[in-house]
Amino acid sequence: MRYLLLALPLAVLCSCAMENTSQSSQLAADARLWLERYNRNYQRLATASAEAEWRSQTHIIEGDETNSKATRAANEALAAYTGSVEVIEAARAFLAHRDQLDALEVRQLEAVLFKAGSGPQTAAELVKRRIAAEAAQTEQLYGFRFELDGKELTPNEIDGCLKSERDLNRRLRVWEASKDVGRALKPGLVNLRSLRNDVVQQLGYPDYFSYMASEYGMTTPELTEKIVEINRELRPLFRELHTYARHELAKQFGQPVPDLIPAHWLPNRWGQDWSELVEVQGFDLNAAMAKHPPEWVIAQAERFYVSLGFDPLPQSFHQLSSLYSVAKDAGYKKNTHASAWHIDLDKDVRSLMSVEPNQEWYETTHHELGHIYYYMCYSNPSVPPLLREGANRAYHEAMGSLMGLAAMQPRFVASVGLDTGGAKPDAMRLLLKEAMNYCVFIPWSTGTMYHFEKELYHDKLDPSRWNARWWELAARYQGIAPPSARGEEYCDAATKTHINDDPAGYYDYALSFVLLFQLHDHIARNILHEDPRDTNYYGRKEVGEFLKSIMTPGASADWRQLLREKTGSDLSAKAMLNYFAPLMEWLKRENKGRTCTLGEI
């Protein structure tokens, strides 16, 4: 009897354990079945949305609302599904037992809830209003007609003028014309700021900026700490670049040296890239590109990826993409900002560009195809459609920018037969040109853009202060100023496309630059055994295999763990600083005796 009494509790415990195991197995099976169904529906609806968005951005006819209506309907259908009450409740119910699910299932369910946050049907009418407002803003943004003296100016013509025009008066007029679109966009942005915040608050996010930061697994304060850290690390180098540029530009235009650089002196509408200020003798990629048609630029970028062991682009890419400028008399316009599209989250990959045979588009095509090949890598059976994204948003940009950097290095350029002038380029001038791109971008992206959008959404910056605050941030972080007073009738922040149609995530680009230099440093030192400042990736299939190992998992891998596994370190600006260390010493010598007018941050 004694042994029987001891055995009964054991039998009960075993029975309970078996029951719990059975329940756990059933829960996991239910979660897998539910996710399979969700992925099928999500892929179908996301494809319809992407197709509609593609049409809206590649065929804009003034006064024709056909595309905007179709886009609105497709986006509403997607939001109605991803944000449905049933979806939210099911995902939350499964995640309440996350310890009984595997990591891939948990990652998918978290992605489900993140996507629900942008369109929760607990506030269906609010979501519809936001979608309608975004469609209208896109039409307004990309259908805007830039004009000078009553004649239309294309974005490429604006950019070309700011890069090459020596007449300060004409530069000023073109720069001012480029800002006219902001006035038209401000009312829509005021409305969108409220709608975006209101929508995500339905799922408990404090504001839209915090919602976007959460995809990195960070709160807004945590993300701000990392962003400020990166900016501070690179600040000494940027202060030297700013001092150098002030003096060079003053000499170029025959003007006194300013404390803040007038915005129309710079070769970019927003002061985010100053590389056109630096000429490198014996390395004229613009002249090399001018010998080829635009189609060659695309073909050369594809040849590079194929040389690394990637597959050729699918024929549908060439048939369905919009790669070149629209003729002025075509009767329609398109978005002129380069982008890559994963239309069906599978094989339908496209790019939207306006390629011309010059250095900027040469680099851009390599960048955009980086996105395309990332799509192609993670479109495989082991990655569900929900997770067919970059490991985080910065990874996608890092891959594209990495390949753009690699394609611009002298040994690479020589290996593909581009005639850049024959002479060996000045290594320090080349490094200066690169710094005027990559390093100048950091205070723009982690400073002006980051803090403006954080204050816009998180801090509820009053619209009566938008333009003043924009230029206060530009002065503090970038050291630039408007040519003359810009009142609140303007909205110069809204002239940047991302503020309107890709909001509260521009820091992705800053993080991607830090990431790309980490990856490039690893490739150069540990795979190619070459100087990081002058590598040649072309034809090196071991580089391709390394890149594929990062790209193939998509978002199914933890981004921090992936970076540590592949490079041996966490996200850090150290590799970027090391890359430009020789330039820092050179700049200090060049700037000796000059006053630095840019403060610390």
pLDDT tens, 534-559? 999 999 999 999 999 999 999 999 99
The DSSP secondary structure of 383-402, one letter per residue, reads: S-GGG-S-SSHHHHHHHHHH
3-state secondary structure labels for all residues of 473-523: HHHHHHCEECCCCCCCCCCHHHHCHHHHHCCCCCHHHHHHHHHHHHHHHHH
Burial level of 469, CB count in 10 A (0-12/13-18/19+)? middle
**How are beta strands 261-262 and 339-342 bridged, if at all?**
unpaired
Tokens describing residue 234: 């690179």
C-alpha to C-alpha distance for 42 and 38, rounded to whole angstroms: 6
DSSP 8-state class, residue 203: G
243, 245, 238, 237: which is closest to 265 by C-alpha?
245
H or E element in which residue 151 lies: strand 151-153
Q: Compute the half-sphere exposure of residue 501: CA atoms within 13 Å on the CB side of its CA.
A: 18
Instruction: Quickly count: other Cβ atoms within 10 Å of residue 392's Cβ.
Output: 23
Residue ranges for the chain with pLDDT beneath 70: 1-21, 422
Tell me the three state secondary structure of residue 341.
Answer: strand
- pLDDT at residue 8 in the model: 40
- pLDDT at residue 282 in the model: 79
- pLDDT at residue 230 in the model: 96
334, 240, 232, 23: which is closest to 224 by C-alpha?
232
Instruction: Quickly count: other Cβ atoms within 10 Å of residue 51's Cβ.
Output: 17
C-alpha to C-alpha distance for 374 and 362, rounded to whole angstroms: 19
